[in-house]
Amino acid sequence: MAAHHELIQATACRIVDQLRSGEVTPLDLLDALERRISEVDGAVNALPTLCFDRARRHAAELMKKPQSERGVLAGLPVPIKDLTAVEGVLTTQGSPIFKDHVPTRSDLMVEHLEASGGVVYAKSNTPEFGAGANTFNEVFGATRNPWDLSRSAAGSSGGAAAALASGTAWLAHGSDMGGSLRNPASFCGVVGLRPSFGRVAHTPAAKIDRNLGVQGPMARNVEDVALLLDAMSGEHAADPLSLPSPASSFLTAARSRARPLRVAFSPDLGITPVDPEVAAITRKAAERFAEAGVIVEQAQPDLSEAHECFHVLRAFDFAISKAELLRTKRDLLKPEVIWNIEQGLALSVDDLARAEAQRVAMAARTITFFETYDLLLCPATITAPFPVEQRYLAECNGHKFDNYVEWLGIVYAITLVCCPALSLPCGFTSTGLPVGLQMIARPRNEAGLLAGAALLEDVLGLRGSTPIDPRPAPASL
């Protein structure tokens, strides 16, 4: 029992060291995960699809190789978000349309991750087609927040974040278009990193240069996120926009704790309401950078076109990728997905041209901003975790949103300007719910982002807050 508990509590970096020394095997880790899942995931519903037989076959093959050939992860198990194909494993995309779909080939991101020593043992829950920042669907139901089971785990990588927080994963794969790595990380008190597009190769679909959405890593701390980013990164001929791995690893960058000289904090990026308690917690966390000798000032780039721009480009993405489903399977789609596709089909060339011009202008202003500041800090979400039955956040601080995605502006604005960004646990509300600080760097500067995040993580002293046993809602007073 003690050994099982110690394994679940250990960091991913520590376990990789143990794998390399022979202290544990990939099979030991799978046994520990299977036991932990049986103990806690019934309440959380983070990992609805398990594939332990496949994982053990893969682990056994990996163990036949010398240690030097077992890759960055050396046999560490990783769950894959249910939007992404895994060969021979049920992959539903959270949709009744694909409730029985078993791919015959994995996405090349999964192939690359397995070649890097990752062992896939589960699929993590996601909303239908990743639409909406609350993880529920008609196939598997809702994923619940381990900090308070009556609350949302956010989304769309909500299953991944909840698995990390509840100890059914050490590392987790996710994806992000409008904050889907960052929102659930904030809600669940873990770290989620949206890389620059091209950093993680994936199988192109619908459009070669489709770049609003990217694949990325999640973990319980910054060094573990860097480790998984190392395992996920690298160019691939099948993804023409993929980037080569850097000369020095992202884990080395994180461990350098290289200090940024000047950072900016913005409570709202100038574009969104924010819950006052969340704003206060994130401001206090950002200001603590000064304890490490960093200059902290309030500033932000001009992102005023973000809502209009993202609404158009996101709708276009849904149109090119899901229009056929609307024509043939409309009765099986949830209302939000139908709305997204129809919005996209109604766009004109002029609409698209205007949105692309807005994106170019915002990106240029943001790059100029990073000539003065090394990092930009702001809330990762504008609210604390809300009730799981609530489909989305309808209003905040007196402001009613026009649609179900507008409340995500503080993260999708950063998607538009092509910057890597992560959510770092930075404190708790008065009711004990996690809050995340969004940390943003210039395009392709994941190394500087990870170094600064690891430094601030040290200052804040919150590393090790997860995993936790799932907690029921507190009794009413």
What's the angle, vertex CA 71, arms to CA 68 and CA 72, rounded to 5? 115
284 is catalytic: no
- Coil/strand/helix, residue 186: helix
- Coil/strand/helix, residue 199: coil
Query: What's the CA gap between 413 and 175, in Å, rounded?
Result: 16
From the candidates 81, 123, 322, 334, give the one annotated as an active-site residue: 81
Q: At what angle do helices 26-44 and 52-63 cross, to 10 degrees?
A: 160
From the candidates 95, 124, 156, 242, give the one annotated as an active-site residue: 156
The torsion angle over the Cα atoms of residues 397, 403, 404 and 409, rounded to 10 degrees, is: -60
435-450 CB burial, b ≥16 within 10 A, e <16? bbbbbbbbbbbbbbbb
Cite the DSSP H helix spans in 266-334. Answer: 276-287, 306-329
Between the CA of residue 455 and those of 346, 371, 424, what are the distances in Å?
A: 47, 21, 11
As a three-state string, the secondary structure of 347-406 is CCHHHHHHHHHHHHHHHHHHHHHCCCCCEEEEECCCCCCCECCCCCCCEECCEECCCCCH
Residue corresponding to tokens 């390399």:
20
From the candidates 116, 124, 180, 196, give the one annotated as an active-site residue: 180
Of 310, 282, 267, 442, which is closest to residue 369 (Cα–Cα)?
A: 442
Active site residues: 81, 156, 180
